[in-house]
Amino acid sequence: MPPLRFIIYPFIIVVSILLMVSILLQQRGTGLGSAFGGEGNVFASRRGVEKVLFMFSIVLTILLFSSAIISIFFVK
């Protein structure tokens, strides 16, 4: 059986890339003005693909966080 680091480090890399892609695919009212409060967007419920991407990014965040904790405590 290979050491845990040969499994966990590539896993962290893949999950982080997937998380970046899923965050970038989520479309919102974008623009630099909205970052500083320029737009007053009204909250709308997520539906369809947007909801799936949102839930997928939450799952990926949990996976990334837990794999990072595992790599801290168990990989030597």
pTM of the model: 0.75
Per-residue pLDDT, 34: 52
Tell me how many degrees the CA angle 51-55-60 measures, rounded to the nearest 5: 145
- 10-residue stretch averages of pLDDT, the chain, 76 residues long: 88 97 79 54 74 94 96 88
Per-residue pLDDT, 22: 93
Taking CA atoms, 38 is separated from 5, 19, 25, 34, 44, in Å, by 45, 27, 22, 5, 18
C-alpha–C-alpha distance, residues 35 and 50, integer Å: 20
Residue 18 contacts residue 25 (beta carbons within 8 Å) = no
Q: Where are the domains of the chain?
A: 1-17+48-76
